[in-house]
Amino acid sequence: MLGQEQRMDGRSRLSVNLRQMVIAIETAASLVGLNDTQHGKRVAYISVQIGKQLGFSDHDLQFCFDLGLLHDCGVSTQKMHNKLVTKLFGSDAQSHCDTGYQLLRDFSPLSKYATPILYHHTPWQKLVQEDVSPHDALMANLIFLADRVDVLAATSAKNLILARREIVRELAKYIGEYFAPHIFKAFEKAQASEAFWISMEERHIASFVSRMEQFDMVRELSISDLKKLSLIMADIVDRKSHFTGNHSFLVAKLARFIAERYGLNEQQCEMIEIAGLLHDLGKLRIPDHILDKPGPLNSEERAIIQGHSFETYEILRQVEGLDEIATWAAFHHESLNGQGYPFHPYEQEYSVEARIIALADVYQAIVQDRPYRKGMTREEALSVVTQMASERKLDPQILEIVKNHQQSCFDLARGVGVSTVK
C-alpha cells in the first residue's frame, strides 16, 4: 500500500523514489513530441557526458541528469515543441523557461532546478550579467548546449557518426555568445568518440536512464508533498489546451468531495484527489488539433483519444509506490458494463475509487465551457449522468451522492468558490 508509513503525529508519509517521479515528469512532458519522446532523456545523457569532461562530482552529475530530464517541463503543446525543435534559437523560447521555473520554484524537493531552468535558453553573454550563482549559470548553459546538440542530432537526416562534424561546426559558431567556451570545449572532448553518438539511440538511452535510476533517491514525502508534485504534473497537462484549463484540478476536487460523502477514510480521499490530478497525463500524447477540434471527432481521432488513459497508466506505474493511484487514474474511462476503454476490467477489479474519478471526470467535462459549446446546466448535466448510470456506464450508487449534493457538485465542477491557485 504505497510504501506508507504512519508517523507518531498521525500524518501519513510515503516512501517515494523521487528519481522515478522526475523521470515520470519527463516522460509526460516528452509525450508532446509525439514521434520523438526521448528528448529530455537524451539531453540528460548529453549533459552528464559533458559534466564528466568538466570534472563534475557525482553529486553534480546527478544534478545535471535530473535537470536535463526536467528542463522542458514548461512545454505542454505540440506547437511550442515544434518551434523549439525547428529553430536553433528563437525569441519565444523563454516562455517555457518561465513556466518551468514557476512550476518548480515552490516545491522544495525540486526547487533547486528552478533557476537553471529559467535561464536554460539565455545566451552566455547575457547570463554572466544576470544575478545568478556560478553553479546555476554553469548548469543552465550546459543544458542549453546539450539541448541544442540534441535538436540538431534529432533533426539530422544522416547517421549521427556522419553528421557529428556538421553539428559541432554549426554550434561552434556561437561559442562565447550563446555557449561558455569551457563548456563547449568539454562538449568537443565528449563527442570525439563514436560511442557518444551511438549512445543517443533509443535503446541505449533507455539503458542509460535505467542505470541512473538505480542511484538511491528514495524520499519520505508527506501526502501534501505528493499532492504538490501531482499539481505540477496536472498543470503541465492542463496547459495543453486552453479549452480545458483546470480540468484535472477540478476533477480532483470534485472526486475528493464525492469520496468524502461516500464515507471513504482520509487516506483514500487524499489518494483519490492525487489520482484525479494525474488522470489525464496521457493527453499530452494527443496532437493539439485533435484536443482543440471544435466539433465531433472522426473514428481515427477517437482511436487516438482512447489511448490517453493507457499512457497515463504507463507513466505512473513506473513509480514505485503509486500502483493503486496509477490504476485509479487510468480507469477513468472504464465502465461497469465493460464497454469503456482501454482495459475493460472485470467489475470486481473496477474499484470504487476509480468509479468516483470516472464520474467526476464526466461531470466536470460536460459542465465546463468549451469553444464549440456552453457547459451544461446543473439539470442538463444531472440528466446526462443519470442516463449513463442507467446504462451502467457510471456507478448508480456514486451518482446518488451527486443527486444529494447537486449544487455543491455543480459549483465544484465549474470552479465556483474554488481557489485555482496551485
pTM of the model: 0.87
* CA–CA separation, 215 and 338 (whole Å): 41
- φ, ψ (nearest 5 deg) of residue 179: -120, 140
* 211, 221 Cβ separation under 8 angstroms: no
Residue 55 inside a domain? The answer is: yes
Question: Which of 86, 183, 102 is closest to 137 using CA atoms?
Answer: 183
Please give the chain's pLDDT, 422 residues, in tens: 344 444 333 346 666 678 888 898 898 888 776 567 789 999 999 999 999 999 999 999 999 999 999 999 988 777 777 777 777 787 678 999 999 999 999 999 899 999 999 999 999 999 999 999 999 999 999 999 999 999 999 888 889 999 999 999 999 999 999 999 999 999 999 999 999 999 999 899 999 998 988 776 666 677 888 899 899 889 888 887 766 678 999 999 999 999 999 999 999 999 999 999 999 999 888 888 888 887 788 999 999 999 999 999 999 998 888 889 999 999 999 999 999 999 999 988 999 999 999 999 999 999 998 766 789 999 999 999 999 999 999 999 999 999 999 999 999 999 987 765 44
Query: Which three cell numbers, joined as nine digits, stand for 225?
Result: 508533498
According to the model, what pLDDT value does residue 421 have?
47
Identify whether residues 209 and 246 lie together within a single domain: no
Residue 195 inside a domain? The answer is: yes
Residues noted as catalytic: 283
Judging by beta carbons within 10 Å of its beta carbon (0-12, 13-18, 19+), is residue 51 exposed, middle or buried?
Answer: buried
Identify whether residues 262 and 398 lie together within a single domain: yes
Q: Residue 415: left (phi > 0), alpha (psi -120 to 50), or beta?
A: left
Q: What is the CATH number of the domain that holds 68?
A: 1.10.3210.10
DSSP H helices in 2-121: 18-30, 39-53, 58-70, 78-86, 94-104, 114-118
Q: Are strands 12-17 and 218-222 parallel, antiparallel or unpaired?
A: antiparallel
* CA–CA separation, 68 and 26 (whole Å): 9
Identify whether residues 122 and 259 lie together within a single domain: no
Mind listing the pLDDT tens digit for each residue in 305-338? 999 999 999 999 988 888 899 999 999 999 999 9
* CA–CA separation, 336 and 391 (whole Å): 9
Residue 313 inside a domain? The answer is: yes
Whether residue 123 has a cis bond before it, omega within 30° of 0: no
According to the model, what pLDDT value does residue 9 have?
37
Question: Which of 416, 317, 365 is closest to 20 using CA atoms?
Answer: 317
The total number of structural domains in the chain stands at 2
Identity of the residue numbered 329:
A
Identity of the residue numbered 255:
A
Residue 179 pairs in a beta bridge with 175
Mind listing the pLDDT tens digit for each residue in 349-376? 999 999 999 999 999 999 998 766 789 9
Residue 223 inside a domain? The answer is: no
Residue 184 inside a domain? The answer is: yes
According to the model, what pLDDT value does residue 33 have?
63
Q: List for the chain the helix, strand, coil content (%; round to 5).
A: 65, 5, 30
Identify whether residues 167 and 269 lie together within a single domain: no
Residues whose CB falls within 8 Å of the CB of residue 136, separated by 6 or more in sequence, listed in order? 115, 116, 119
Identify whether residues 154 and 253 lie together within a single domain: no
Residue 225 inside a domain? The answer is: no
According to the model, what pLDDT value does residue 15 have?
66
According to the model, what pLDDT value does residue 216 have?
61
Identify whether residues 196 and 244 lie together within a single domain: no
Identify whether residues 42 and 160 lie together within a single domain: yes
How long, in residues, is the chain? 422
Judging by beta carbons within 10 Å of its beta carbon (0-12, 13-18, 19+), is residue 81 exposed, middle or buried?
Answer: buried
Identify whether residues 170 and 38 lie together within a single domain: yes
Identify whether residues 206 and 251 lie together within a single domain: no
Identify whether residues 28 and 104 lie together within a single domain: yes
Identify whether residues 202 and 247 lie together within a single domain: no
Identify whether residues 199 and 258 lie together within a single domain: no
Query: Could you give the count of Cα atoms lying within 13 Å of 83 in the half-sphere of its Cβ?
Result: 13
Tell me which residue range forms the domain holding 181: 16-213
Residue 284 inside a domain? The answer is: yes
